[in-house]
Structure 1
Amino acid sequence: MSEYKVDYFSKYYFYEEEDFLEKIEDGNYILNQIKESNRFDYKGHSFKYTKFGNISMGDTKRDVDVVIDLEQNKITINGENAHLDLIYKFETKELEDHMRIATRISEKTDDISCLLYVNNAQSKSFIKDLEYIKKIQEDRMNKR
């Protein structure tokens, strides 16, 4: 079992404008704000238009605890079980002092894009653990 402290963990939810107004509290207010400035921070979330014309709602947490249990094929983020869809998306980019990992996370009602920023001191072992989990996911997919 490996324990990590991830500097930033961001989840991004994407909405068409009509769905956004139905699903998001204060949707009209937020929509008016992002139409003026293209980005608006509100109640702990960041809202903006994407290059595809839909709306993204970002939720970023700092200093997040991530536990990867290779024996159980289990990932826990801040004490909650998480399923990272590593076979569908697993992109890494080395930054000056961090490694950025882009993937998807499955939640009960949605598949959500997410970014994890891991400091360079622990990024190699973190990515190695994720690659192991990805291989298990691929093996399970191929057995179907």
Structure 2
Amino acid sequence: METPTKSGKTHIGRKISRIREIRGIKQDFLAVELGVSQQTISKIEQSEEVEEATLEKIAGVLGVSAEAIKNFNEDAILSIISNTFTSNDSSTINAINMQCTFNPLDKVVELYERLLASEREKMEILKNGNQ
């Protein structure tokens, strides 16, 4: 889903927006990190072009390079995912649909009881050692 504009150039603002969304970053967070308002981020994401210095700062917050933003191509990413995330066995499906066969709270209680028992043993050793 390349984002060309009428002038034939790619829309850098849309690429920033899409990468931000993929990374799970909100405009507010990006704004705080860059020391600007959320409205400024919105304007940047609507801009066809972004100044190189600003692009570098945004790239740093997004955890990618400025070049990665410029060359971002959602079609390529979707193609890679669809071509690599296939499995003829059920291991992948089982990993995704994992259901706990135990109650996590029971495990916490079990660990707590073991910790208490260990502490009691330590106390007994200390009491016997001091006598």
Q: Same fold (TM over 0.5)?
A: no
More helix per residue:
2
More strand per residue:
1
